[in-house]
């Protein structure tokens, strides 16, 4: 019937059955792919750690190596490393996401290039240079602590500011303007449009930025030891200075594993928080 | 707007003041100047939109028709002028409150991709704070109305729908809080021609029940003629070239601009003005599948028809059967020609003609909403209808002591 609107019922029962079988088969394939995707990375990382452990224990360690490579100190450094990463990511989210939202509001839009420029500058300075610069500034301000977690977190925030800021702005910008117009046209307030449409639709892009920032922070936090911030950088650097390959490798591999793990977990969170239907 | 009444009662009350046929929306000297442009996009537009009618804004691109429409719900704020809705000046009330009582459908639809179809439709009820039970009931009702069974479609995401289905959801969403006024900006513009025709017919059927006041923007004169109770042909700056019924515009264009815009083939276009239900269908020789075959054959042999139309239990057309088919031993449902070229009563004669030309039989089968057989329409019926329209027009001009332009042209 050419002018009725009811979708045609599939009249053929067998065809429907076939379609259902196909659906079931593809669902099974999807599940298998999902298992590989979810478990692949953790299994790989565990194997790397196991290999590292076996290799280190098979070496004859001298007294310096034995003193550096204790489980206690490695765990402590890993924990410091994670703390630095999480703190800095938390604060950068707290600052960059609201700033990104503000910068995309119509009234402030013209400042957007300036804001992006600021973030770019933070990124263009080499991380070591930025850390040193901040370290110097903190030294000249007696009111501020010049070593420890605080200056390191501040410089990590400065360094990972851009990816989150830019992704927040891009994420909000790429929302279909007709979707926004429909929302406004039905009587949603600007705040409601932001909360129920723009932000949920920007989530995937913002989270991609967060993921990048997290991985950046894991890497940059390896420099924290220079300012008394601890972290796995200590092991790497002492291995390097003392020319002890097992120490150097252990530190480097642990940082790499941590970065991959953080990326993996961020990926899971990203998937979880991305609205269905996108 | 007083603060004592809730937005919902205001919605209910909007439109009750105005009796049908009276002006529902009045645009007074409505003007829009965009910054940095010398000439205004809309220049002192004055228009009265009667209650319960579809008024189509049509004109070449860039004439300001969309801007005019979007000023009514103040998606674009007017630079000057007034909008009077149901006797109330809405030019400076809270736009969000205003928009909740105006349905809004745009070409790009703008469904929220991250929420399910049902929640999309529930947008305005949720904004108005309806309780969940009432909202759910309303959503299901509307999905039904637009031909999407709620059980099947409520939980889907927009990306899981076809373009036509999305636009249906768009219409359902606009109707959710039962607004008395609907603004539609090229709602069927981005949809393939077959689905578009379907949606147009469906929408007209819906409107005949709902009697909303509708402003409809299109650049397609054919769509304007089909959909509009009244058409405003706009030229640059949204200046009204003619504001009249489609019949009037086709038979008596006000000026050269309208004539050019309507283009050639006014008679063919007038076929789009007459609905199938306005023409008396011819009876065909019909039989149903539950009848005895011998009985069918007897009726066929007694008649002068060369074919019999076989209907199913619900009287929906199945097959055209010829004498040889009736005499063969195979089941009736497996012989004969499939009955194609069905048109609903809501379709226009132009649609019917199209179906006839596509189908082999040269006739269109008229069916009702449920697809049940009503009668046949053939080319002769359409020629008669054209003749009648011509006569009626001629009569009109004689009565008005005017010369029929067509007769004059023919002389």
B93 pLDDT more than 60: yes
Q: State the smallest CA–CA distance between residue A80 and chain B in angstroms.
A: 39
What's the Cα-to-Cα distance from A44 to each of A101, B330, B370, rounded to whole Å?
38, 67, 61
pLDDT at B15: 55
* Parallel/antiparallel/unpaired status of strands B286-288 and B308-311: parallel
Provide, as residue numbers in chain A, all residues whose Cβ is less than 8 Å from the Cβ of B116.
277
d(CA B74, CA A186): 11
Which is more confidently placed, B243 or A56? B243
Please check whether residue B3 is in contact with residue B12, taking contact to mean a CB–CB distance below 8 angstroms: no
pLDDT at B176: 93
Please check whether residue B29 is in contact with residue B45, taking contact to mean a CB–CB distance below 8 angstroms: yes
Kindly state the average pLDDT of the residues B235-243.
92
B361 pLDDT more than 80: no
A238 pLDDT more than 70: yes
d(CA A108, CA A102): 7
Phi-psi region of A243 (alpha: psi -120 to 50; beta: other; left: phi over 0): left
Provide, as residue numbers in chain A, all residues whose Cβ is less than 8 Å from the Cβ of B147.
5-7
pLDDT digits (tens, 9 = 90+) for A111-130: 888 877 776 776 777 777 87
B347 pLDDT more than 50: yes
User: Of B99, B108, B342, which is closest to A187 when you measure between CB atoms?
Assistant: B99
* Parallel/antiparallel/unpaired status of strands B363-367 and B54-58: unpaired
Provide, as residue numbers in chain A, all residues whose Cβ is less than 8 Å from the Cβ of B159.
277-278
pLDDT at A4: 40
How high is the mean pLDDT of chain A? 84
Kindly state the average pLDDT of the residues A158-187.
89
Q: Which residue, B280, B371, B361, is CA-closest to B318?
A: B371
Q: State the smallest CA–CA distance between residue A5 and chain B in angstroms.
A: 6
Helix crossing, B379-399 with B349-358: angle to 10°? 150
Q: What percentage of chain B reaches a pLDDT higher than 90?
A: 40
Suggest the residue from A185, A189, A276 to mutate for an interface test with chain B (most B CBs closer than 10 A): A185
Provide, as residue numbers in chain B, all residues whose Cβ is less than 8 Å from the Cβ of A3.
197-198, 201, 342-344, 346-347, 351, 367
Lowest mean pLDDT across A139-148, B94-103, B121-130, B152-161: A139-148
Kindly state the average pLDDT of the residues B188-200.
86
**Is the four-CA dihedral B341, B344, B345, B350 of positive or negative sign?**
negative
pLDDT at A1: 40
pLDDT at A256: 93
- pTM score: 0.71
| Local confidence band at A12 (pLDDT 50, 70, 90 cut-offs) | low
B401 pLDDT more than 60: no
How high is the mean pLDDT of chain B? 85
**Contact flag B96-A187 (C-beta cutoff 8 Å):** yes
pLDDT at A95: 92
Please check whether residue B210 is in contact with residue B180, taking contact to mean a CB–CB distance below 8 angstroms: no
Identity of the highest mean pLDDT range in B35-49, B353-367, B379-393: B35-49
Six token digits for residue B131: 């309780």
Kindly state the average pLDDT of the residues A63-83.
86
B394 pLDDT more than 80: no
| Local confidence band at A255 (pLDDT 50, 70, 90 cut-offs) | very high
Question: DSSP states of chain A as a string?
Answer: --S--SPPPP--HHHHHHHHHHHHHHHHHHHHHHHHHHHHHHHHHHHHHHHHHHHHHHS---HHHHHHS-HHHHHHHHHHHHHHHHHHHHHHHHHHHHHHHHHHSTTTGGGHHHHHHHHHHHHHS-HHHHHHHHHHHHHH-TTS--SSHHHHHHHHHHHHHHHHHHHHHHHHHTS-HHHHHHHHHTT--HHHHIIIIIHHHHHHHHHHHHHHHHHHHHHHGGGGGGGT--STHHHHHHHHHTT-HHHHHHHHHHHHHHHHHHHHHHHHHHHHHSPTT-
| Local confidence band at A179 (pLDDT 50, 70, 90 cut-offs) | very high
B363 pLDDT more than 70: yes
Return residues 315-374 of B near A (CB < 8 Å): 316, 341-344, 346-347, 351, 355, 367, 369, 371
Which is more confidently placed, A26 or A201? A201
Kindly state the average pLDDT of the residues A158-165.
84
Q: State the smallest CA–CA distance between residue A164 and chain B in angstroms.
A: 22
What's the Cα-to-Cα distance from A81 to each of A214, A224, A256, rounded to whole Å?
12, 8, 12
pLDDT at B120: 95
Q: What percentage of chain B reaches a pLDDT higher than 70?
A: 88
User: Of B112, B149, B346, which is closest to A179 when you measure between CB atoms?
Assistant: B112
**Contact flag A185-B104 (C-beta cutoff 8 Å):** yes
Suggest the residue from B11, B113, B344 to mutate for an interface test with chain A (most A CBs closer than 10 A): B113
What's the Cα-to-Cα distance from A238 to each of A61, A250, B310, rounded to whole Å?
15, 11, 93
Six token digits for residue B14: 């909007």
d(CA B262, CA B250): 7
pLDDT at A3: 42
Provide the ipTM.
0.74
Lowest mean pLDDT across A183-187, A206-210, B323-327: B323-327
Lowest mean pLDDT across B143-147, B203-207, B323-327, B358-362: B358-362
Please check whether residue B69 is in contact with residue B183, taking contact to mean a CB–CB distance below 8 angstroms: yes
B70 pLDDT more than 70: yes
B207 pLDDT more than 60: yes
pLDDT at B306: 84
pLDDT at B50: 94
B20 pLDDT more than 80: no
**Contacts across the A-B interface (CB distance below 8 Å):** 110
pLDDT at A202: 93
d(CA B268, CA B272): 7
Provide, as residue numbers in chain B, all residues whose Cβ is less than 8 Å from the Cβ of A277.
113-116, 157-159
Provide, as residue numbers in chain A, all residues whose Cβ is less than 8 Å from the Cβ of B201.
3
Could you report how far apart the first and last alpha carbons of chain B are, in Å?
60
Instruction: Look up residue B403 and give its DSSP letter.
Output: -
pLDDT digits (tens, 9 = 90+) for B101-140: 999 999 888 999 999 999 999 999 999 999 999 999 999 9
Instruction: Look up residue B236 and give its DSSP letter.
Output: G
Instruction: Look up residue B14 and give its DSSP letter.
Output: T
d(CA A244, CA B179): 78
Q: Is A170 exposed, middle or buried (0-12, 13-18, 19+ CB in 10 A)?
A: middle
pLDDT at A257: 94
| Local confidence band at B273 (pLDDT 50, 70, 90 cut-offs) | confident
Tokens 């283009």: give the residue: B263
Provide, as residue numbers in chain B, all residues whose Cβ is less than 8 Å from the Cβ of A6.
147
B263 pLDDT more than 50: yes
Q: Which residue, B251, B191, B257, is CA-closest to B223?
A: B191
């Amino acid at each position: 019937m050419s002018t009725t609107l009811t979708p045609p019922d599939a009249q053929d029962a067998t065809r429907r059955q076939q379609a259902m079988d196909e659906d079931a088969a593809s669902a099974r394939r999807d599940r298998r792919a999902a298992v590989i995707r979810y478990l692949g990375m953790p299994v790989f990382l565990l194997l790397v750690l196991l290999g590292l452990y076996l290799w280190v224990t098979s070496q004859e360690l001298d007294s310096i190596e034995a003193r550096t490579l204790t489980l206690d100190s490695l765990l402590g450094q890993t924990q410091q490393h994670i703390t630095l990463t999480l703190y800095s990511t938390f604060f950068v989210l707290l600052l960059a996401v609201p700033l990104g939202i503000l910068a995309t509001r119509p009234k402030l839009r013209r400042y957007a290039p300036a804001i992006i420029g600021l973030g770019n500058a933070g990124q263009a300075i080499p991380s070591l240079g930025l850390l040193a610069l901040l370290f110097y500034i903190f030294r000249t301000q007696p009111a501020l602590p010049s070593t420890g977690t605080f200056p390191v977190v501040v410089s990590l925030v400065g360094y990972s500011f851009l990816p989150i800021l830019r992704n927040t702005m891009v994420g909000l910008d790429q929302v279909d303007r007709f979707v926004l117009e429909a929302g406004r046209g039905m009587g949603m307030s600007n705040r409601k449009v932001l909360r129920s449409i723009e932000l949920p639709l920007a989530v995937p892009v913002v989270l991609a930025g967060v993921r990048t920032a997290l991985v950046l922070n894991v890497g940059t936090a390896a420099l924290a030891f220079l300012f008394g911030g601890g972290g796995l950088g200590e092991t790497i650097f002492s291995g390097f200075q003392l020319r002890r390959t097992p120490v150097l490798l252990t530190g480097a591999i642990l940082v790499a594993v941590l970065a991959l793990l953080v990326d993996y977990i961020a990926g899971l969170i990203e998937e979880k928080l991305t609205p269905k239907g996108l | 707007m007083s603060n004592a009444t809730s937005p919902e009662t205001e919605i209910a009350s909007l439109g009750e003041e105005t009796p049908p046929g009276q002006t529902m929306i009045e645009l007074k000297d409505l003007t829009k100047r965009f910054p940095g442009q010398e000439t205004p996009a809309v220049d002192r537009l004055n228009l009265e939109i009667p209650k319960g009618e579809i008024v189509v804004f049509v004109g070449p691109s860039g004439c300001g028709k969309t801007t005019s429409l979007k000023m009514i719900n103040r998606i674009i704020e007017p630079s000057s002028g007034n909008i009077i809705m149901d006797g109330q000046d809405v030019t400076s009330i809270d736009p969000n409150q205003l928009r909740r009582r105006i349905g809004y459908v745009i070409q790009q639809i703008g469904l929220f991709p991250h929420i399910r179809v049902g929640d999309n439709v529930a947008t305005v009820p949720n904004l108005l704070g309806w309780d969940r039970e009432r909202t759910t009931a309303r959503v299901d009702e509307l999905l039904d109305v637009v031909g999407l069974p709620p059980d099947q479609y409520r939980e889907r995401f927009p990306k899981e729908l076809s373009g036509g289905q999305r636009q249906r959801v768009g219409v359902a969403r606009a109707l959710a809080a039962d607004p008395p006024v609907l603004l539609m900006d090229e709602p069927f513009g981005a949809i393939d021609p077959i689905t578009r025709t379907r949606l147009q017919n469906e929408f007209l059927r819906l409107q005949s029940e709902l009697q909303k006041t509708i402003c409809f923007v299109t650049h397609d004169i054919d769509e304007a003629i089909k959909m509009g109770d009244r058409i405003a042909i706009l030229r640059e700056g949204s200046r009204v070239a003619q504001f009249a019924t489609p019949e009037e515009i086709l038979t008596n264009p006000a000026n050269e601009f309208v004539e050019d815009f309507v283009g050639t083939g006014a008679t063919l276009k007038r076929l789009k003005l007459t609905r199938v239900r306005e023409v008396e269908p011819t009876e065909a020789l019909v039989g149903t599948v539950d009848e005895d075959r011998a009985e069918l054959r007897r009726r066929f042999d007694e008649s002068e028809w060369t074919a019999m139309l076989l209907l199913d239990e619900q009287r929906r057309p199945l097959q055209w059967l010829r004498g040889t088919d009736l005499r063969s031993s195979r089941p009736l449902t497996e012989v004969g020609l499939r009955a194609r070229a069905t048109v609903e009563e809501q379709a226009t004669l132009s649609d019917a003609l199209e179906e006839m030309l596509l189908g082999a039989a040269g006739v269109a089968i008229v069916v009702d909403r449920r697809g049940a057989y009503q009668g046949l329409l053939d080319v002769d019926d359409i020629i008669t209808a054209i003749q009648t329209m011509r006569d009626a027009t001629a009569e009109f001009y004689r009565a008005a002591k005017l010369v029929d332009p067509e007769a004059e042209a023919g002389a």
